[in-house]
Amino acid sequence: MTTVEPPCELGPGLGARLERDPQAAVQARRMVRTFLGTLPRAVPRETTEAVMLVVSELVTNVVRHARGRLCSLDLRDMGHGVRISVSDDDPEPPRPRRLDLTGQGGLGWPLVRRLSSELTVLSRPDGKTVHAVVSF
């Protein structure tokens, strides 16, 4: 289930609530393509790929590690980049994991940190929100 929500206070944007299932990352990547296609300026290919990767990693982390049934994704045009916000119902912040070259993980969070010009995690008793900005 995907529910599209109206933009909030920042700038033009797109938001949705996603079921925590394996298709969530696929739906999130579709949203990124739709959102970037609506921006009033051309988005460099490298930026598109970086935003897609950050969104995919953050949503996949929710699906794999968080609790709760839903997560939300919000994309905002910041003028100088794209702000990505992913929220879930688990207050535990992301934790770096030991790198596992057999495909079991450990690459996502360091990759998100490297691709983001800003990265914050806001924890609250009922969940958390990860905000990342990919500048261009």
Q: Which is nearest to 85 in space by CA: 136, 41, 119, 53?
A: 119
Q: Which neighbouring-strand residues pair with 72?
A: 17, 87
Average pLDDT over residues 5-30: 79
Q: Cα 112 from chain centroid?
A: 9
If one counts every other C-beta atom within 10 angstroms of the C-beta of residue 43, the result is: 17
Tens-digit pLDDT profile for residues 91-115: 999 877 777 666 667 788 999 999 9
Query: What was the pLDDT predicted at 118?
Result: 97
Q: Does the pLDDT at position 1 exceed 80?
A: no
Average pLDDT over residues 73-101: 89
If one counts every other C-beta atom within 10 angstroms of the C-beta of residue 104, the result is: 10
Query: What was the pLDDT predicted at 106?
Result: 74
If one counts every other C-beta atom within 10 angstroms of the C-beta of residue 105, the result is: 15
Q: Which is nearest to 38 in space by CA: 75, 80, 10?
A: 75
Query: What was the pLDDT predicted at 126?
Result: 94
Tens-digit pLDDT profile for residues 50-70: 999 999 999 999 998 888 889
| Cβ pair 35, 52 in contact under 8 A | no
Query: What was the pLDDT predicted at 132?
Result: 98
